[in-house]
Amino acid sequence: MCGIFGAVFVEPGERVDAEAALRAIAYRGPDASKIHRAPGVVLGHNRLAILDLSPGAHQPMFSADRQVVVVFNGEIYNHHELRKELVALGHGFRTRSDTEVIVEGYRAWGDGVVRRLDGMFALGLYDARAERLLLARDRTGKKPLFYARDGGAVRFGSEAKAIVASGVCADMDPDALVSVLAMGYTPPPRSMYRGIAQLPPATFAVAERGGAWREERYWRAPFGEPPLRMDDDEAAAEVRRAFEAAVVRRMEADVPLGAFLSGGIDSTILVSVMAKHATHKVRTFSIGFSGDERFDETRYARAAAQAFGTDHTEFVVEPSSFDLVERLVAMHDGPFGDSSAIPMSIVCMLARRHVTVALGGDGGDELFCGYSRFLAAELEDRIPRAVRTAGGMVERALPDHVRWIGPSSRARRLVRRAARPLPERLLAWTGYFAFELEGLLRPEIQRSSDLTQPAETSRRALHGMDGASVLSRVLAHNFETYLPGDLLVKADRASMMHSLEVRAPFLDTALIELAARLPDATRRRGTTTKWILRHAYRDVLPESILKRPKMGFGVPLGTWLRGDLKPFMLDHLAEGAQIYEWLQPAAVRRLLDEHFGQVADHGHRLWLLLTLQVWLKSLSARAAPRASVEAPATP
């Protein structure tokens, strides 16, 4: 796990501050830092040493003839198999590192090496002989890769801040603001900075001298393909075999390794497999919350730890953890809606005191239908069209409910969404202001922005899925949007800020390709989510965990923001805040009034606005002065 930066096809005299770029992302790789310079080419790397800790495995790494050089962030889990193939083809190796497999793989297979890599990765490879740059990102988007093009020159890095630090002047992209307000994150290809883009997951790009640029998507999860023909026991056996292989491959490391344990189905299964194959006690880490027991899973985690004999550590998050907000916003290079970045960051900090690598359960809910909203999306689709059309009137007659997770609140959201097409309904499930941008953005911002892009992003995620079942389309949409845009970004930034590598066995390629083609009846049975996982591991899971209700990895924002954190929120959204250059003060005032008056729970929305304000404030030194605008009065 590392941080990378590069600038290629740079004109003589063009400023490229590679040292500043690497300093900006130093936490991604504290073990070594190196820069390679050649005419028109600068490549830099911060290393977090995981496999082959010797200096010979440092990057940038060259081929034996020094014509090919790579900087790479991530882990290649099939590097042993690829190495054997390459040795048979006559390639020699100087290290045990997976990085060298990329270099030699490119020499053997050219751009085709990307399709052969199985793991999490973002890489920049320069071929000096052909004068071409290859950029590539892993299938699910676990590792980030940003780039900026200026004429023929290309700069790239693990985070946008590295590109900015290298000498690129970047202002906020107003269209990205539309996306982040609607979805809580900025989907590729945009970033929050104008002129800096994200390479999408499962995509590689080739840049050549003179400005030629080509992008190609090389893989897609097969959710739209015909379901596999197998009975329940066959499906369970295949899932168990594939998952165990995925975990074992991710246990390879030359540094201490542990796991996150929530006590949910996914993390408990993960730890059970690790305990089976480990040569010593597995280190496990969990986190709880003060102020609202509905969000605290520590008792389940303790039960799982006891069942599998792990060396267990837990931590309780207090409202004071909001002190992290400025650092978290800086890590994300912009606002972000997922407040569980707070506990994720803290559990990563806790784990890093003991281990350098942690395995986590990301992807289990996404592959195996773990969210109740997936079932609700199916239910919505069965509502007759006439009833859906009347949904708006019914919704207005239902009472408000204070708790976001309360039953009447869920009923309101279901009926409100029902009249919309499936892509828009799915956007609404995880959105923030998905269909309320006109009432939130200032009129002049609305006129200069494309307010349709969030819905268009949602529609594109379902491209080619017309013949698939509703549940397959729902899972595919989530896999293409929320997983890479929210969950994997959160995991990457929260772990990297503490120099911790996090691996996700549920996002193993073979497991994805199996799970994406399972019949719907194995994904859910009645209202039981993740049925096939429960069935496959019914002899392993403790009864208390097997039958426990689903509990999301969230924080009690509503409770916290009405208590000790009320002054914190009001201070950041006070008069003169930069956020009112973009948003209507009356709209923010309404959210505050309703939240503090317990008319509704807007905790998740207020968190998003808080992170937006913190990020805008960080940009204010580079922004031109603007007239002050009205701000909400203190409730």
Q: pLDDT digits over 123-162, tens only? A: 999 999 999 999 999 999 999 999 999 989 999 999 999 9
Based on the structure, what is the number of domains in the chain?
Answer: 4
Q: Is 55 helix (H, G, I), strand (E, B) or coil?
A: helix
User: Which residue in the list 2, 169, 348, 369 is annotated as catalytic?
Assistant: 2
**pLDDT-based confidence at 634, cuts 50/70/90?**
very low
Note if the pTM is more than 0.85. yes
User: Which residues, 6 or more positions from 81, have their beta carbon under 8 angstroms from its beta carbon?
Assistant: none
Same domain, yes or no: 571 and 527 = no
Asked if residue 46 lies in contact with residue 33, where contact means CB atoms within 8 angstroms, the answer is yes
Of 282-296, 410-424, 559-573, which has the strongest mean pLDDT?
559-573
Percent above pLDDT 90 for the chain: 74
Q: Which two tokens stand for residue 616?
A: 């805008």
Tell the burial category of 386 from Cβ atoms under 10 Å away from its Cβ (0-12, 13-18, 19+). Answer: exposed
Provide the pLDDT for residue 297: 76
Position 630 pLDDT exceeds 50? no
Q: Mean pLDDT throughout 294-313?
A: 88
Give the residue, 393 or 33, on which the prediction is more confident.
Answer: 33
Lowest mean pLDDT among 112-121, 313-322, 550-559: 550-559
Same domain, yes or no: 517 and 611 = no
Measured distance CA(441)–CA(447) in Å, rounded? 10
Same domain, yes or no: 208 and 114 = yes
Position 74 pLDDT exceeds 90? yes
Calculate the average pLDDT of the chain.
90
User: At 147, which helix (H) or strand (E)?
Assistant: strand 146-150
Same domain, yes or no: 33 and 177 = yes
Phi-psi region of 202 (alpha: psi -120 to 50; beta: other; left: phi over 0): left
Closest to 47 measured CA to CA, from 35, 61, 58, 36: 58
Residue 177 resides in a domain: yes
Q: Of 190, 217, 244, which one is at a domain's C-terminal end?
A: 217
Asked if residue 536 lies in contact with residue 237, where contact means CB atoms within 8 angstroms, the answer is yes
Position 466 pLDDT exceeds 80? yes
Q: Mean pLDDT throughout 95-105?
A: 96
Q: What is the domain range of residue 461?
A: 372-479
Residue 629 resides in a domain: no
Residue 227 resides in a domain: no
Same domain, yes or no: 212 and 105 = yes
Measured distance CA(509)–CA(503) in Å, rounded? 13
User: Which residues, 6 or more positions from 463, have their beta carbon under 8 angstroms from its beta carbon?
Assistant: none
Closest to 269 measured CA to CA, from 577, 538, 622, 633: 538
Q: pLDDT digits over 578-613, tens only? A: 999 999 999 999 999 999 998 999 999 999 999 999
Looking at residue 367, its amino acid is L
Q: Give the end-to-end CA distance of the chain in Å, rounded to a whole number.
A: 46
Task: Report the CATH number that the domain containing residue 63 is assigned in CATH.
Answer: 3.60.20.10
**pLDDT-based confidence at 324, cuts 50/70/90?**
confident
Q: Mean pLDDT throughout 333-350?
A: 92
Provide the pLDDT for residue 554: 61
Same domain, yes or no: 585 and 616 = yes
Lowest mean pLDDT among 455-459, 500-504, 553-557: 553-557
Asked if residue 430 lies in contact with residue 486, where contact means CB atoms within 8 angstroms, the answer is yes
Residue 469 resides in a domain: yes
Task: Report the CATH number that the domain containing residue 286 is assigned in CATH.
Answer: 3.40.50.620
Beta strands, E only, 179-333: 197-198, 203-208, 213-217, 257-260, 283-289, 311-317
φ/ψ of 3, rounded to 5, equals -125, 135
Q: Is 46 helix (H, G, I), strand (E, B) or coil?
A: strand
Q: Of 546, 576, 591, which one is at a domain's C-terminal end?
A: 546
Percent above pLDDT 70 for the chain: 89
Q: Of 185, 217, 249, which one is at a domain's C-terminal end?
A: 217
Q: Mean pLDDT throughout 155-182?
A: 95
Position 407 pLDDT exceeds 60? no
Say which residue the tokens 């005191």 belong to. 353
Asked if residue 609 lies in contact with residue 177, where contact means CB atoms within 8 angstroms, the answer is no
Provide the pLDDT for residue 544: 84
Active site residue 2: yes
Provide the pLDDT for residue 566: 87
Residue 54 resides in a domain: yes
Give the residue, 467 or 153, on which the prediction is more confident.
Answer: 153
Same domain, yes or no: 400 and 503 = no
Residue 242 resides in a domain: yes
Same domain, yes or no: 48 and 143 = yes
Of 113-127, 311-325, 533-547, which has the strongest mean pLDDT?
113-127
Q: Mean pLDDT throughout 478-496?
A: 97
Closest to 457 measured CA to CA, from 482, 492, 420, 432: 482
Q: pLDDT digits over 619-629, tens only? A: 875 554 443 34
Q: Mean pLDDT throughout 442-459?
A: 94
Same domain, yes or no: 201 and 109 = yes
Same domain, yes or no: 201 and 104 = yes
Asked if residue 363 lies in contact with residue 267, where contact means CB atoms within 8 angstroms, the answer is no
Say which residue the tokens 């890599």 belong to. 117
Q: Is 67 helix (H, G, I), strand (E, B) or coil?
A: coil
Asked if residue 513 lies in contact with residue 238, where contact means CB atoms within 8 angstroms, the answer is no
Residue 498 resides in a domain: yes
Give the residue, 117 or 409, on which the prediction is more confident.
Answer: 117
Q: Which two tokens stand for residue 396?
A: 């207005």
Same domain, yes or no: 141 and 196 = yes
Question: Is the bond into 189 cis (omega within 30 degrees of 0)?
Answer: yes
Closest to 339 measured CA to CA, from 349, 328, 347: 328
Residue 201 resides in a domain: yes
Which residues is 76 bridged to in the sheet? 119
Instruction: Determine how many CB atoms are found less than 10 A away from the CB of residue 141.
Output: 27
Position 21 pLDDT exceeds 80? yes
Q: Is 219 helix (H, G, I), strand (E, B) or coil?
A: coil
Asked if residue 287 lies in contact with residue 302, where contact means CB atoms within 8 angstroms, the answer is no
Provide the pLDDT for residue 633: 47
Lowest mean pLDDT among 31-35, 286-290, 332-336, 577-581: 286-290
Say which residue the tokens 């689709």 belong to. 381
**pLDDT-based confidence at 405, cuts 50/70/90?**
very low
Q: Which two tokens stand for residue 28?
A: 């991604």
Same domain, yes or no: 164 and 270 = no
